[in-house]
Amino acid sequence: MILPDIKAVPGSLIQTIMGRQMSEPAPRIDTPESRVPDTAEIVARISAIAGTLGLELVSVSGAVDDVIARHSVQMEDLNRLAAAAAIVSDQNAQIMAAARAAEDVIDRSAEETRRRVHDTTHAMETWVSSADGAATRISALSQSIDSVGAIAKSIETIAANTNLLALNATIEAARAGDAGRGFAVVAQEVKALSNQTREASQRIQKTLSELTGEIRSLTQSSAETLAMARRMAGQTSGSDRSASLASLGEAFDRVRGSVHTVTEGAQAIHGRSEDLRAGLTHLAGDVKALDGLLLDGGKRLVTVAMSGEQIMQATNAAGVRNGDSPFLVSAEDAAGRIGALFEKAVADGVISLADLFDESYAPIAGSDPQQYMTRFVGLTDRLLPDIQEAILSSDSRIAFCAAVDRKGFLPTHNRKFSQPQRPGETEWNTANCRNRRLFNDRVGLRAGSNSGEPLVQAYRRAMGGGKFVMMKDISAPISVHGRHWGGFRIGVLA
């Protein structure tokens, strides 16, 4: 592969390379200090600087991603606060409207109440006067009935005497014989009339007696009604009535004052709520704009980091040895051996080519993080562990090594990362149960989908619990009968 034209390398990267002091020594070349470094040595130094720069840029990019993620949460909080402020503002507006309406009602009610109290007082006074007059008339009626009763008793007495007189006349007419017959008839009629008068007088007295009882009951009720009317009218003194009406008016004024205070408070809160809503909306806009800037900056950092990766790819393709060379050799060798094992398995009928390239990832129920199964997992579980464990133990800087398919699916991981999941322990599972998972992030997808030269990528590896490790991901493509299956990845601690 031909080295890229220096013009294709970003100017900022060239300035960094030219002006920066190396934080790590370049691969040592045993030459006299007076000798001018040759091209291979210069390229090796550039590759080392590019690798270090790429790691730092990816680290910064990851930190920017964390800030963006936190900003997203803050953005949601700000939006909720703005929505809450809007609700408070709207509710305060409703409170103001209701309080003003209440003030109007209180004003109208106070005037109406004063008028009704006045009318009621006047009606009470009229009632008292009417009850007083009725009591007087009932008393006079009672006296008249008593007088009629006395007259009725006199009539009864007269009737009794007349009856006695008629009896005497009858006796004398009987003594007179025939001469007294006419007188006897008159005496008999007088007696009959006397009896009728007496009976009528007795009925009148009985009726008067009953009427007198009713009059007495009516008199008592009239007295009680008069007393009640006087109590309700407040006829203790004129000043008491005035004081009662005045206290009622003062009560209305106090209520109106309280409602007015509520109105003013609600108006003040409404104004502040509007200011708060406007401020939160403006702040949310600023945060959103900042997120856009950070996102753009993060993308640019990744782009620059990938430019550094391209420099490393170019130096590796040119045959210049550097710190990544041993791992590149291991990755290419493992990829070739795995491809050969897959081809043999197909040839022996152990698995069909269609099953080997299966992309129907079936979720494993209850797994967290989500794990999947494919039709080739059983084969990789048998063939890959020996290769992967040997490479993992060959260098202490190697954190992991595993084969992934074109979509970044990792069927069989190193044994220490293939623990059975623990229910409800997501963080532990994330760090220790990394097999059967889709790693379709930028690095994982590039490692799996790359069918060209081996890749050297810098990235932050998520270990669960918000912990990350800076690493280099070195990968080489795996092919089966000329068909791209995926890639073999080696993670090297930075």
Can you give the pLDDT of all 494 residues of the chain as single tens digits? 333 443 444 444 434 434 443 444 444 444 445 555 666 566 656 656 655 655 555 566 656 666 666 666 766 777 777 777 778 777 777 777 877 787 677 777 667 776 776 676 676 677 667 767 776 777 777 777 777 777 767 776 776 777 777 777 788 777 777 777 776 777 777 777 777 777 777 777 778 777 777 777 777 777 777 677 677 666 545 555 556 656 666 776 777 677 778 777 777 776 777 777 777 777 767 777 766 766 666 666 666 656 656 666 666 665 666 778 899 999 999 999 999 999 999 999 999 999 999 999 999 999 999 999 999 999 999 999 999 999 999 999 999 999 999 999 999 999 999 999 999 999 999 999 999 999 998 899 999 999 998 998 888 776 656 677 788 899 999 999 999 999 999 999 87
- Give the residues across from 90 on adjacent strands: none
CA distances from residue 382 to 334, 336, 484 in whole angstroms, order as listed: 15, 17, 21
* Dist. CA 93–CA 89, nearest whole Å: 6
Q: What domains can you pick out in the chain, each with its CATH number? A: 137-256 (1.10.287.950), 324-494 (3.30.450.20)
Q: Name the average pLDDT for the chain.
A: 76
Which pair of tokens denotes residue 230? Answer: 């006087």
What is the structure's pLDDT at 423? 95
What is the structure's pLDDT at 228? 74
| Residue carrying the six token digits 């990394």 | 434
- Give the torsion through C-alpha atoms of 125, 130, 132, 137, to 10 deg: 170
pTM value > 0.95:
no
Question: Do residues 339 and 330 make contact, with C-beta atoms less than 8 angstroms apart?
Answer: no
